[in-house]
Copies of this chain bind each other. A is one copy, B any other.
């Protein structure tokens, strides 16, 4: 799974950072998904050839603040003017459907492809053969939902060499072993578990914004390969974070650490942390890394390929 950050600023855009938007691409799939859609998200897509607008399939919205939704009507309208997507499913909090329909009505905008808005509740919101998506409420000033995207585990690899060496003939028996069954050939028994490696674990990531430190963010991030968590403020501005129900970088790091995640990407930075300011994003990174070392800072148009955790090789088996 490949994550591309389209906007990493909180509240309002800066010259370097747009407001929230994240693209998610999947291996061997032309479709991609969008998480949040702040104003100017469609403009960011113009600069990224690999994200073809017509292949956008799903949009997940965390909450109804403008920096996460004001780009949605324009994106949907623009998608209707070129080569249109097949259909778009949009997931988000209560109010999203009314907002979108009101804007399209006032602007007399007709969307020429099918789209549907799903109001999310806690739990499983999407189940596909290869991916599932869960959501849970976070702790912000308005209802906000975090998401967890899970790639299903894949069967382990079949050891063809070993099967051949053991004298099992190529053919339907291989399929039975691959499926984990036991077979008999020329009076001998063979067990699938001896020929199939451990399952290849699917990758999973969480997206937690906007929120202050909360248990649901940890639950969504449990054992995730990547936690994408807002870090609007530095710990020194903790009081601002508390009042606005945002997170400090340290809070985001605690979420990733308690969830025993593999990596953390900070995003949704307050525009106050310019390179010239007393506190900079390098300070946010340092305070997070002190708690959770594998922390990174997102930046606009950064692409992060979530690595696959390759299981240990098959143990040497004896006594077949």
Contacts and interface: CB of A to CB of B under 8 A. Distances in A.
B13 A43 contact: yes
Contacts of A197: none
Given A43-B13, A102-B106, A103-B103, A73 B66 contact: yes
A308 B107 CA distance: 38
Contacts of A102: 99, 102-103, 106
Contact of A142 (B43, B74, B99, B108): B108
B107 A39 contact: no
Given A39-B39, A40-B43, A43-B43, A107 B15 contact: no
Interface residues of A, number: 36
Interface string A159-177: 0000000000000000000
Given A66-B74, A70-B74, A46 B108 contact: no
Interface string A168-196: 00000000000000000000000000000
A43 B65 contact: no
A64 interface: yes
Contacts of A69: 107
Nearest to A102: B102
A4 B206 CA distance: 43
Contact of A107 (B13, B42, B77, B99): B99
A107 B43 contact: no
Contacts of A280: none
Nearest to A13: B43
Contacts of A107: 64-66, 69-70, 99
Contact of A106 (B14, B42, B67, B98): B98
Number of copies: 2
Interface in A69-109: 69-71, 73-74, 77-78, 81-82, 95, 98-99, 102-103, 106-109
A294 interface: no
A259 interface: no
Contacts of A77: 12, 66-67, 70
Between A39, A69, A71, the greatest number of chain B beta carbons within 10 A of the residue's beta carbon is seen for: A39
Interface of A: 11-15, 18, 39-40, 42-43, 46-47, 64-67, 69-71, 73-74, 77-78, 81-82, 95, 98-99, 102-103, 106-109, 141-142
Counting from the closest, the 5 A-B pairs by CB-CB distance are A99-B106, A39-B74, A12-B78, A66-B107, A70-B74
23 contacts: A12-B77, A12-B78, A13-B43, A13-B46, A13-B78, A14-B46, A15-B46, A39-B40, A39-B43, A39-B70, A39-B71, A40-B40, A64-B106, A64-B107, A67-B74, A69-B107, A70-B70, A70-B74, A70-B77, A99-B103, A99-B107, A102-B102, A102-B106
